[in-house]
Structure 1
Amino acid sequence: MAKLGKRTKSARLAFAGKDNISLEDAVSLIKANATAKFDETIEIAMNLGVDPRHADQMVRGVVTLPNGTGKTVRVAVFARGPKADEATAAGADIVGAEDLMEAIQGGKIDFDRCIATPDMMPIVGRLGKILGPRNLMPNPKVGTVTMDVATAVANAKGGEVQFKAEKAGVVHAGVGKASFDAAQLAENIRAFVDAVAKAKPAGAKGAYLKRINLSSTMGPGVSVSVDSAASAV
């Protein structure tokens, strides 16, 4: 059995016996134990009462966190002509068409968000097997297939977070950094939880928000009271 370090032992001791606590208590606990040598990401995982294998139970959406994510987001845009110029002016890191497609096919994926104008989708569609599993495929439902590329780029860089339920009905995302103050993290988390709550699909039966767990990149997780974390629903 691997020997636990002092930091890990200390964190586990601090988290012992903590379960279904208030959001504010959870944030304070996680911040106090995020002691890695880098600014850890605060991560949320939500267990939902859905089976995403059924089309009417898929959960997907987007939310702009009020205090941003604390992460530098690299944005790629598929566009031509004036729309390509708009994307560049808005701060897109990579802009292209067939050349960008070829780079991705060659294994070069150095971006966190992919946006496309509608006329580019025949090209982007060829990349489905590459971008899809990485949750990078542009989709009109979350505003990444659009003619308003400038706004899409600004949103992506300004704290917008996409979410999608995985096979087990779990949604997870980064909702800030350990360096954020407690109030900023709590506000971000409630915004995210409320967005997921409002995305409840028609086919969901019974309890929808079943469990919420928070953790830092290198720290243990703690469960949070659903009522404490959901402000609008």
Structure 2
Amino acid sequence: MAKLTKKQKAQAEAVEGKDNLTVEEAISIIKSNATAKFDETIEIAMNLGVDPRHADQMVRGTVSLPAGTGKTVRVGVFARGAKAEEAQAAGADVVGAEDLMEQVQAGNINFDRCIATPDMMPIVGRLGKILGPRNLMPNPKVGTVTMDVKEAVEAAKGGQVQFRAEKAGVVHAGVGKASFSEADLAKNIRAFVDAVSKAKPAGAKGTYMKQVAVSSTMGRGVTVDIVSATGNG
């Protein structure tokens, strides 16, 4: 087994035996351990009592984090004419139709979020094998297939986060940066947990939220008390 560095030992000792902390306690520990030379992302992982292989147990949605994400999000929009102009005016990074499809097919994916007007979906549909695995496929359920491209672009740029349950029923996302204040991180974490709570699918049985954990990019995770994370603590 590889030996731990001094820094890794210190991080391990900081979280040892600490479980089910309040959101504020967890953030305090995570921030103090986020000592990398870059501004680490604060990440949340939620274990849910769902099996997303069943359609009635799929969890997905979006949430606008009150303090933003701290990340610059590049937005690509499939649209024509007036809707393409609207997307550009709203701050989209790349806008197009067949020309944008050809760029993506050539491996030039210069966006982190993809939005499309409904009439563009026959074109976007051809890119399913490229966009799907990257979680970039526009979907009306999360507001990325829409005629209101202005609102969708502004939401993506303004701190909106998408989430979806993976195979094991785990939802994870970045909820800010280590440089954020503890108060802003707490607001973002509670907003995210609240959105996942509201996205509880009809087919979920038993305990829906099993565990909530928070970590930084390079740091160890700590579990958070679910009542505290929902803002009811």
Same fold by TM (over 0.5)? yes
Residue aligning to 1:82: 82
CA-CA distance at 1:232 after TM superposition: 6.5
For the residues of structure 2 that align with 1:104 and 1:166, how far apart are their CA atoms? 25
CA-CA distance at 1:4 after TM superposition: 2.4
Query: Could you give the per-residue CA deviations for residues 139-167 of structure 1, whole angstroms, max 9, x where no partner exists?
Result: 11111011111111000000000000001
Residue aligning to 1:206: 206
CA-CA distance at 1:108 after TM superposition: 1.4
Verify the 8 A CA contact 1:68 1:158 in the aligned structure 2: yes
Helix, strand or coil: the match of 1:161? Answer: strand
Residue aligning to 1:143: 143
Verify the 8 A CA contact 1:194 1:232 in the aligned structure 2: no
CA-CA distance at 1:5 after TM superposition: 2.2
- Give the AA of the match of 1:157: K
CA-CA distance at 1:103 after TM superposition: 1.0
Verify the 8 A CA contact 1:44 1:175 in the aligned structure 2: yes
Helix, strand or coil: the match of 2:70? Answer: coil
Residue aligning to 1:64: 64
For the residues of structure 2 that align with 1:166 and 1:153, how far apart are their CA atoms? 25
Q: How does 1:1-233 map to 2 (within 5 A)?
A: 1-231=1-231
CA-CA distance at 1:131 after TM superposition: 0.8
Instruction: Go from structure 1 to structure 2 and tell me whether the alpha carbon gap of 1:232 and 1:199 turns closer, same or farther (over 3 Å shift).
Output: farther
Q: Structure 1: 5+ residue runs without aligned partners? A: none
- Give the AA of the match of 1:144: T
TM-score normalised by the chain length of structure 2:
0.98
For the residues of structure 1 that align with 2:54 and 2:142, how far apart are their CA atoms? 20
- Give the AA of the match of 2:81: G
Verify the 8 A CA contact 1:75 1:93 in the aligned structure 2: yes
For the residues of structure 1 that align with 2:73 and 2:123, how far apart are their CA atoms? 23
Q: Structure 2: 5+ residue runs without aligned partners? A: none
Aligned residues: 233
Helix, strand or coil: the match of 2:124? Answer: helix
CA-CA distance at 1:202 after TM superposition: 0.4
Query: Could you give the per-residue CA deviations for residues 89-128 of structure 1, whole angstroms, max 9, x where no partner exists?
Result: 1100000111111111111112110000011000000111
CA-CA distance at 1:88 after TM superposition: 0.6
- Give the AA of the match of 2:46: M
For the residues of structure 1 that align with 2:229 and 2:156, how far apart are their CA atoms? 24
For the residues of structure 2 that align with 1:19 and 1:229, how far apart are their CA atoms? 13
Which stretches of structure 1, 4 residues or longer, exceed 3 Å deviation after superposition? none
RMSD: 1.1
CA-CA distance at 1:133 after TM superposition: 1.3
Helix, strand or coil: the match of 1:133? Answer: coil
Helix, strand or coil: the match of 1:212? Answer: strand
Helix, strand or coil: the match of 1:180? Answer: coil
